[in-house]
Structure 1
């Protein structure tokens, strides 16, 4: 009778939400992750009956801090509403905004070779004022508001503009640190200040620092926890028609170039 009962008992479900790519870059038709595009997928991930957990499969070099925060908050709200554990699995990279997403989970696991961390804020650009001068080009900008041309790449860098940018970066960095502390709590180990310099670590180094809970991969860990019969409900962002036809559009190509540049920062 016990065997018959076990055969009839429905298998638990683990929803797998794939969070692959840069966050909030590439335009509306690109391949990046954003809160609006993921809203329906998050709903679907938490919708199945007999849901045992939601697993986040993360492979992201980061991107927009605002979109990172919005996505993570949406996942967290749904997890609290459904009282469902969320477990993150980091693949090649979960850095900067990618690690922000991982911290939406109750537990974080990663591959040995995964790159994690980069808890910081970066802003990069070019100064082209000397180049356009040599070309005989005159820059003409007319504004209503003296601060509208902050960090104009065609004008010499202004010290006040740099200080304003750094003030914004400090605010975002503080928000990032608060998010990590709220998520990881007492699991963080050692000198916390050293964790928030923007440095990156491999899987076991991140585990020793308390940034992740261990080394592990999604399918075997979920089977070990919920049984070999566990069913995986995979949700992923829908590819555009051009992507499905194998012919990405201009916006998608730009997004891919931007993401490639972000991954290159981590040697990927």
Structure 2
């Protein structure tokens, strides 16, 4: 009798028993412009503060087999790109799990910087990948002020404090200074790509001009490792794993669809400009 009871009870699930739980692949969505401003109105903005919780949750799963980065970004702030990429590597090294990046429409500039945090990068054949360069822009309003008879008054301590002021005439020395800054950032970007991609990069053409390529060409150049969608690749590599998504939380006002019209319009214009540079 005792033996029969033991056999029956051994087949029953026990509280806290995890033997029937599936392996997990966690997916983190990194969609939008990389912008350091964590405004309550921002939609589709990537920065470390916005994605930290999602990254931590993704790497904290039991039975974690891999983390996938679903990237759709035209880039943005270089510092935020670097901070997020470094955080991904810290968590990956701590948990000792592989990281796979998947470029959707666009993994360009800072978006490609994020992709390079992965051990492998995949793209769709129509994805745009690359743009390993640095860009900044602005407007000059001196003519507008003159037209309306407005006099600009600016008071500073330090001869370079008013560099690139949009309401003052552009100075050649300011443009030269900005160019040097761009070159330094570009070198850091190139070093990061070389560090992460290593001998997978080819010498077929100059990869660091700021150009972008479609997925198949990006694969030939060594910027990505393969052509395939997130679900296809993960389904093939981890057929028995559960795919779970960890999305960065949107600010409260953005989730409710509430926001000051002027601020919301400015966010939309800035985002539209970033995407439109790549025809999207």
Give your verdict on TM over 0.5.
yes
1:218 aligned to 2:230? yes
Alignment partner, residue 191 of structure 2? 178
Alignment partner, residue 62 of structure 1? 75
Alignment partner, residue 21 of structure 2? 10
CA distance in 2, matches of 1:124, 1:99: 20
Which structure 1 segments of 5+ residues have no match? none
Shift of 1:9: 5.0
1:126 aligned to 2:170? no
Count of aligned pairs between the two proteins: 260
Shift of 1:115: 0.8
RMSD, matched Cα: 1.6
Q: Check the 8 A contact 1:41/1:236 in 2, yes or no.
A: yes
CA distance in 1, matches of 2:124, 2:267: 26
Q: Check the 8 A contact 1:26/1:256 in 2, yes or no.
A: no
Distance 1:81 1:252, change over 3 A: farther
Alignment partner, residue 51 of structure 2? 38
Give CA-to-partner distance per residue, 1:84-138, whole Å, 9 cap, x none. Answer: 1000000010100000000000000011111111100001111221221122111
CA distance in 1, matches of 2:212, 2:157: 42
Say which is worse superposed, 155-164 or 126-135, in terms of deviation.
126-135
Q: Check the 8 A contact 2:122/2:227 in 1, yes or no.
A: yes
CA distance in 1, matches of 2:140, 2:252: 38
Q: Check the 8 A contact 2:24/2:64 in 1, yes or no.
A: yes
Larger Rg: 2
Shift of 1:42: 1.1
1:256 aligned to 2:268? yes
| Alignment map for 1:86-235 (pairs within 5 Å) | 86-191=99-204, 194-227=206-239, 229-235=240-246
Shift of 1:53: 0.3
Q: Give the TM-score normalised by the residue count of structure 1.
A: 0.92
Q: Give the TM-score normalised by the residue count of structure 2.
A: 0.88
Give CA-to-partner distance per residue, 1:208-266, whole Å, 9 cap, x none. Answer: 10000011111121110011x31012001112333333344454443232111100000
Alignment partner, residue 74 of structure 1? 87
CA distance in 2, matches of 1:146, 1:164: 13
Say which is worse superposed, 174-183 or 121-130, in terms of deviation.
121-130
CA distance in 1, matches of 2:242, 2:259: 33
Distance 1:146 1:253, change over 3 A: same
Alignment partner, residue 236 of structure 1? 247
Q: Check the 8 A contact 2:26/2:67 in 1, yes or no.
A: yes
Which 4+ runs in 1 deviate beyond 6 A?
none
Which structure 2 segments of 5+ residues have no match? 1-10, 12-18
